[in-house]
Amino acid sequence: MQSIARFQTMKATQQKISMVTCYDFWSAQLVAESAIDSILVGDSLAVVMHGFASTVHATLELMLPHVAAVARGAGDKVIIADMPFMTASSDLPAGVAAATALIQAGAHAVKIEGAKHQLTLIAHLVEAGLPVVGHLGLTPQAVLQLGGHRVQARTEAAASALIEEAEHLARAGISALVLECVPAKVASVLTQKLDCPVIGIGAGVQVDGQVLVLQDLLGANRGFHPKFLRKYADLAGDVVAALNHYHQDVTEGAFPAVCESYA
């Protein structure tokens, strides 16, 4: 049985947790073959897979087929699904219904951005037995208010507020915390303070694990070069080169060969 509870043991034994986003069956199968610990079906799929400008366009209806497709390919990986924009900000029954739908589609935990009014829903879900992952720092669903994708908690006051919010989340019972785009020092302090694992993205190395968007780390997204990103492949370059090679073979009559044709 896949459970995020394992991450607590990993933190206790100082084993780093690796997480990648995944939005479809095809890539979930590849992640399943790898040593990666966990999959996040992030609401970033609205941007990466559907071409929207931000994650506020990820609706529950958009997310659910992606969660289900990932679950069909992910083998024994722990799957976390993002609660889409506003689903944790309306009333409690609506939040419970959204979380239930994501779990029934195949997720093993839900991730919720923010630590204000969301705390009631988080505590309720945890009490009901559903693991919840928090998300603080740069919370992309608040991009319209934040005025862009900027590093957060740069001042002492903002760092203290962030730490206080994280402590509220810990009291509400979160299983892990995603910390996005905060100074490494703040992330390090928070990681030491919290019992639950802290998974960083743009939060430095002194955290319990790292998460990256799969397409970003594979170099499939041209033109996206934030400071925190390390590209482990040039998938965009490789795919375009393969397509051009195929095009050339087709136009020159070099594909298919006799051995690729039926007698």
> Which residues does the annotation mark as catalytic?
180
Residue 208 interacts with ligand KIV (CB under 6 A)?
A: no
Q: How far is the CB of 54 from ligand KIV (least distance, A)?
A: 11
Contacting residue, 2, 38, 44, 175, with ligand KIV by CB under 6 A: 44
Per-residue three-class SS string for the chain: CCCCCHHHHHHHCCCCEEEEECCCHHHHHHHHHCCCCEEEECCCHHHHCCCCCCHHHCCHHHHHHHHHHHHHHCCCCEEEEECCCCCCCCCHHHHHHHHHHHHHCCCCEEEEECCCCHHHHHHHHHHCCCCEEEEEECCHHHHHHHCCCCCCCCCHHHHHHHHHHHHHHHHHCCCEEEEECCCHHHHHHHHHHCCCCEEEECCCCCCCEEEECHHHHCCCCCCCCCCCCCCCCCHHHHHHHHHHHHHHHHHCCCCCCHHHCCC
Nearer to ligand KIV, 82 or 165 (CB): 82
**Judged by CB under 6 A, how many residues of this single chain contact ligand KIV?**
11
Q: How far is the CB of 254 from ligand KIV (least distance, A)?
A: 41
- Map tokens 């997480």 to a residue: 19
| 75-94 residues near ligand KIV, rule: CB under 6 A | 82
Nearer to ligand KIV, 103 or 214 (CB): 214
Q: How far is the CB of 213 from ligand KIV (least distance, A)?
A: 5
Tokens of 196: 């639950």
Residue 200 interacts with ligand KIV (CB under 6 A)?
A: no
Contacting residue, 99, 178, 190, 196, with ligand KIV by CB under 6 A: 178
Residue 43 interacts with ligand KIV (CB under 6 A)?
A: yes
Nearer to ligand KIV, 6 or 149 (CB): 149
Single out the residue of 31, 33, 30, 53 nearest to residue 43, CA to CA: 53
Residue 39 interacts with ligand KIV (CB under 6 A)?
A: no
Q: How far is the CB of 144 from ligand KIV (least distance, A)?
A: 16
Give the residue closest to ligand KIV by C-beta.
Answer: 42
Nearer to ligand KIV, 42 or 73 (CB): 42
Residue 175 interacts with ligand KIV (CB under 6 A)?
A: no
Residues binding ligand KIV (CB under 6 A): 21, 40, 42-44, 82, 178, 180, 201, 211, 213
